[in-house]
Amino acid sequence: MIKKILFGILLMAFTGIQAIAQKVERVVSLTPSITENIYMIGAQNKLVGCTSYCTEAVKDGVQQVGSTVEVNVEKVLAQQPDLVLAMELTKPQDIATIRKLGIKVEIIRTPKNFDEICTQTLALGKLVGHSAEAEQVVQSAKTTVEAIRRKANKLDRSKIFFQIGAKPIFTVLENTFMNDFITLCNGENIAEGMTKGTITRESVLLKNPDVIVIAEMGGFGKDEQKVWYTYESISAVKNNKVFLISSETSCSPTPANFVSALQDVYQFVSE
């Protein structure tokens, strides 16, 4: 099968039709957040391949080509894409194979902050010919984020623990886009200065956070919330400020998801 596809691509190249088209019409997305952005900027009609975790695209019947990590290269090639969008978790050998067949692959790196989320969205819009729509999405998000930041600056500063994993406990670090949820809400990340995300429960207790936010990823959130509420001496528990947040919005870097999660964190802090 893969040899037939390769032959077809080479044949097109020899007849003068370049594999990397200037105008992108057929896109394969190997990451759910990228797929969400494609829908957000109105380019879903160009989506011909997605992962099994790209919920909306799967419902629309878009061909599934595996997951972000485990890509079925034959299925990708069978869609005859002009462009494949991937992130760093995709295996380098799979990306290399796709590129060898003359297909353009763009690697979207995990954004370190909200500004990078916006920049990547604008770049995506340009790649798929939806720049105006991407500009509109980004501008709307920036307006809302700035409004929240201004309101949050009037609040007392809070020490925040943002948990994104259990067994071991994993925390949001500085220089990540999720840290912006804390800083934009006039908060102080109790993991400030840490270089690795694992943290002990005892360390969290010693830092005595005013607010605890737990991503629901993997279904551990409710259990962790119950555990934290057994530690009645810390400020977050005393003030009933141990919250759950959707992992779909807080952990998936798109402008709309970022805004939704930031609104939640602001509400947690301001209650």
What pLDDT sits at residue 22?
57
Q: Say whether both 163 and 128 belong to one domain.
A: no
CATH (domain of 69): 3.40.50.1980
- DSSP class of 19: S
Cα 189 from Cα 247, distance rounded (Å): 18
What pLDDT sits at residue 18?
38
**Residue type present at position 237:** V
Q: Say whether both 113 and 203 belong to one domain.
A: no
Query: DSSP states of 152-221 as a string?
Result: HTTSPPEEEEEEEETTTTEEPPTTSTTHHHHHTTTEEETTTT-SSSB--HHHHHHH--SEEEEE-GGG-H
Q: Say whether both 166 and 122 belong to one domain.
A: no
**Residue type present at position 157:** R
Last residue of a domain, one of 66, 100, 132: 132
Q: Say whether both 167 and 252 belong to one domain.
A: yes
Q: Say whether both 152 and 128 belong to one domain.
A: no
Q: Say whether both 196 and 231 belong to one domain.
A: yes
Reported as type and span, the H/E element at residue 211 is strand 211-215
Contacts of 12 (CB under 8 A, 6+ apart): 19
What pLDDT sits at residue 8?
46
What does the block give as tokens for 8? 């077809």
What pLDDT sits at residue 11?
37
Alpha-carbon torsion, ordered 123, 67, 244, 271, to 10 deg: 10
The answer to whether residues 266 and 181 touch, using CB atoms and an 8 Å cutoff, is no
Q: Say whether both 38 and 114 belong to one domain.
A: yes
Give 9 or 192, the one with higher predicted confidence: 192
Last residue of a domain, one of 132, 159, 190: 132
Q: What is the arithmetic mean of pLDDT over 188-209?
A: 96
Whose tokens are 């879903």? That residue is 44
Cα 231 from Cα 228, distance rounded (Å): 6
Is the pLDDT reported for residue 10 higher than 60?
no
Count of domains observed in the chain = 2
40 lies in which domain range? 2-132
What pLDDT sits at residue 14?
33
- Domain annotation covers residue 138: no
The pLDDT confidence band at residue 188, using thresholds 50, 70 and 90, is very high
SS3 50: strand
- Domain annotation covers residue 220: yes
Q: Say whether both 246 and 166 belong to one domain.
A: yes
Tens of pLDDT along 35-47?
A: 999 999 999 999 9
- Domain annotation covers residue 137: no
The pLDDT confidence band at residue 265, using thresholds 50, 70 and 90, is very high
Is the pLDDT reported for residue 103 higher than 90?
yes
Last residue of a domain, one of 76, 100, 132: 132
